[in-house]
Amino acid sequence: MINITINDKKLEVPEGLTVLRAAELGGITIPTLCDHPDLTPYGGCRLCLVEIEGIRTLQTACTIPASNGMVVRTETPALAESRKTILELLLSDYFNAGYTNGNHDDTEFMHWVKYYQAQPPKGFEQKARYPVNSDPNPFVWVDLNKCILCNRCVRACAEVQGRFVWGRAERGFDTQIVAGFYNTMLDARCESCGACVAYCPTGALDNKMSVGLGKADKVVTTTCTYCGVGCNLDLNIKDGKIIRVTSNPKAPVNGMALCVKGRYGYDFVHHPDRLTKPKVRKYLLEGTGVRDKAAGRGEWVEVDWDTALDITARKLRDARDTAGADSLGILTSAKCLNEENYLMNKLARQVIGTNNIDHCARL
């Protein structure tokens, strides 16, 4: 452990941390745009500059290691003016085309713009330099007019997902983020996981399915239904419907990472063909509950869960008792939790008495 003083607050922190991470442990916020705890330090946006006693020039808090006895100031008039200037320079090349994605005013970039009351410099004409929605990827919205070259998407794709889709091209004022070698995202081996969207601080990368749907009324944290890993995610709800899925950085299993199914495969929830209540054949509710083969299977009837489960249990028991346990087979689901599939295993082997059980984890 080392001792460090930040804004006159004495802290004892583990050795090896950067000044930015040490400040976070002490509950002190240092503005940053290019930094994220999941990604390697980059030092590109210069918004996290701090004053350190004994060092003549300002230092980036996200890259300089905290050392024993270090005295740091994170918010002075000079630093505030420096950050405002940086934000105004970024605004000079930032263009909002006017579409609504629900997140424009809530991005990290716009938060610090408002905090330091930054305005685009006079004489700079804000105009689109790149096409809006410039990539045909069905899930990721690309608008490089909002890109500030923080490189978060590049690092997230490489370090979190391991796909190396994004990179930088050109030089100077013409520098831009590109997929592959000026390819489309899919041609550059993109898996459409949306990690680049989750880490983007400006909205240059966004969820295409959510553009134009506005802001959510509430956010519900839940567990993804697609497999048994147990990834947590946040459902953004508006008017009782899911309008987007966002990462939950506190998720113990997956953190910010999600696969394409978890982040974008939520439209089944509101699909008109989705069954929300159990249905059984009408003949199962009448008489002996045995089908008259001449009459066909009959119509479906909506019932409550107790009725449906009672019928299912009765039919399974009758089949086992008349034709033997191996006349039955159990197919479980990748959309169940591991614990639920464990119980299905118990049902098949110990209750019914068969080893005929399989799993559909081949999505």
CATH code of the domain in which 23 resides = 3.10.20.740
Instruction: For residues 313 and 331, state if they share a domain.
Output: no
What's the domain range around 313?
Answer: 275-317
Each residue's pLDDT, cut to its tens digit, for the chain (363 residues) gives 999 999 999 999 999 999 999 999 999 999 999 999 999 999 999 999 999 999 999 999 999 999 999 999 999 999 999 999 999 999 999 998 887 655 546 899 999 999 999 998 887 777 899 999 999 999 999 999 999 999 999 999 999 999 999 999 999 999 999 999 999 999 999 999 999 999 999 999 999 999 989 899 999 999 998 887 889 999 999 999 999 999 999 999 999 999 999 999 999 999 999 999 999 999 999 877 788 887 788 899 999 999 999 999 999 999 999 999 999 999 988 777 788 889 999 999 999 999 999 987 654
Q: Which of 75, 105, 131 is the last residue of a domain?
A: 75
159 inside domain: no
Q: Does residue 234 come out as left (phi exceeding 0), alpha (psi in the -120 to 50 range) or beta?
A: beta
Task: State the CATH number of the domain containing residue 265.
Answer: 2.20.25.90
> pTM above the 0.85 mark?
yes
Question: What span, in angstroms and rounded, lies between the C-alpha atoms of 331 and 320?
Answer: 16
Instruction: For residues 36 and 47, state if they share a domain.
Output: yes
CA 67 to chain CA centroid, Å, is 34
Q: Do residues 236 and 242 lie in contact, with contact meaning Cβ atoms separated by under 8 Å?
A: yes
- Total domains, the chain: 4
157 inside domain: no
360 inside domain: yes
65 inside domain: yes
Instruction: For residues 70 and 23, state if they share a domain.
Output: yes
Q: Which of 75, 108, 136 is the last residue of a domain?
A: 75
The closest of 261, 257, 254 to 227, measured between CA atoms, is 261
83 inside domain: no
257 inside domain: yes
Q: Which of 75, 107, 136 is the last residue of a domain?
A: 75
The structure tokens listed for 326 are 């191996």
359 inside domain: yes
300 inside domain: yes
Contacts of residue 23, Cβ cutoff 8 Å, sequence gap at least 6: 6, 29, 30, 61, 72, 74
Question: What span, in angstroms and rounded, lies between the C-alpha atoms of 140 and 328?
Answer: 44
* Angle separating helix axes 108-115 and 77-91, nearest 10 degrees: 130
Instruction: For residues 16 and 66, state if they share a domain.
Output: yes
The closest of 85, 83, 34 to 202, measured between CA atoms, is 34
